[in-house]
Structure 1
Amino acid sequence: MERHDNFRVQMTRPKRFSWSKFVVVILAALILLAAAFGLYAYMALRPMAKAESTVQRVVKDKTSLTNLHDLTVDYRDGTTYAVLGTQDGKQKVAVMHGKNGQVKVFDYGKGLSKKSLKNKLQDQYAAKRIYSANLSEYQNTLVWEVSYQSKDGSLNYLTLDYQNGTVYRAVNGI
Structure 2
Amino acid sequence: MEIHDNLRVNMARPRRFSWSKFFVIALTIFILLFAAFAFYAYMALRPMAKAESNVQAVVKQKTSLTNLHDMTVDYRDGSTYAVLGSENGQSKVAIIHGKEKKVHVFDYGNGLTRNQIKQLLKNDYQSKRIYSANLSEYQNTLVWELSYQAKDGSLNYLTIDYKNGTVYRAVNGI
TM superposition score category, shorter chain reference:
over 0.9
CA shift digits 1:60-104 (9 cap, x unpaired):
000000000000000111111000000000000000112322100
Partner of 2:91: 91
Deviates further, 92-101 or 74-83:
92-101
- AA aligned opposite 1:67: N
3-state SS, counterpart of residue 133 of structure 1: strand
Partner of 2:169: 169
Structure 1 contact 81–98 (Cα < 8 Å) conserved: yes
The number of aligned residues is 173
4+ residue runs over 4 A deviation: none
Partner of 1:2: 3
Q: Matches of 2:79 and 2:124 in 1, distance apart? A: 28
The reply to whether residue 142 of structure 1 matches residue 142 of structure 2 is: yes
Question: For 1:11-160, what aligned pairs fall within 5 Å after superposition?
Answer: 11-160=11-160
Q: Matches of 1:100 and 1:111 in 2, distance apart? A: 26
Q: Matches of 2:76 and 2:99 in 1, distance apart? A: 13
Residue 2 of structure 1: how far off its partner (Å): 2.2
Deviates further, 31-40 or 17-26:
17-26
Q: Matches of 2:53 and 2:150 in 1, distance apart? A: 35
- AA aligned opposite 1:99: K
Q: Matches of 1:20 and 1:4 in 2, distance apart? A: 39
* TM-score under structure 2 length normalisation: 0.96
- AA aligned opposite 2:79: T
Alignment RMSD (CA, Å): 1.3
Unpaired runs of 5+ residues, structure 2, are none
Residue 51 of structure 1: how far off its partner (Å): 0.2
Unpaired runs of 5+ residues, structure 1, are none
Residue 3 of structure 1: how far off its partner (Å): 7.9
3-state SS, counterpart of residue 11 of structure 2: coil
Residue 139 of structure 1: how far off its partner (Å): 0.1
Q: Matches of 1:146 and 1:152 in 2, distance apart? A: 17
* TM-score under structure 1 length normalisation: 0.96
3-state SS, counterpart of residue 64 of structure 2: coil
- AA aligned opposite 1:61: Q
Structure 1 contact 147–156 (Cα < 8 Å) conserved: yes
